[in-house]
Amino acid sequence: MAEQRGTDRAGRRSKRFLTPLQKYEIWLQLVRQEVTMAEAATAHQVDRSTIVRIRTVAKEGALAALAASKPGVQARERDYELEAIKAENERLSETVKQMAMKLTLIEGKDGWG
């Protein structure tokens, strides 16, 4: 037997929060036509509008995911920050090389030993 929920201060049924897994299971049952929306609402003690919303969100999410998927190898997104850091590293490396050459010319090869 299903447990009864309490009421809030206004006399309405208290809200029932479903986990993502519960919502997924409800959606699967609806897709498989194992239950109607009314049966799912009764079984999970939620309003029918909640079941309609679960079905709508699942459909929109699936369509968005399918629209984003492309056949073949997916190109990586450009990492602009990494590219900027690599460019800065290259610039600094070149600067160090130039300074080392100038130091060698000024001090001569004997200045190292």
Report, as ranges of residue numbers, the positions in the chain whose pLDDT lies below 70: 1-9, 11-14, 72-76, 109-113
C-beta of residue 41 within 8 angstroms of C-beta of residue 47: yes
C-beta of residue 51 within 8 angstroms of C-beta of residue 30: yes
Q: How many CB atoms lie within 10 A of CB 50?
A: 19
Structure confidence at residue 20 (pLDDT): 92
Separation in Å, CA 13 to CA 10, 18, 40: 9, 15, 17
What are the two backbone dihedrals, phi and then psi, of residue 56, each rounded to the nearest 5 degrees?
A: -65, -45
Instruction: Report pTM.
Output: 0.52
Question: Which long-range CB contacts under 8 A does 55-58 form with residues at least 24 apart?
Answer: 55/27, 55/30, 58/23, 58/24, 58/27
Q: Is the dihedral of CA 49, 54, 57, 58 positive or negative?
A: negative
Structure confidence at residue 91 (pLDDT): 95
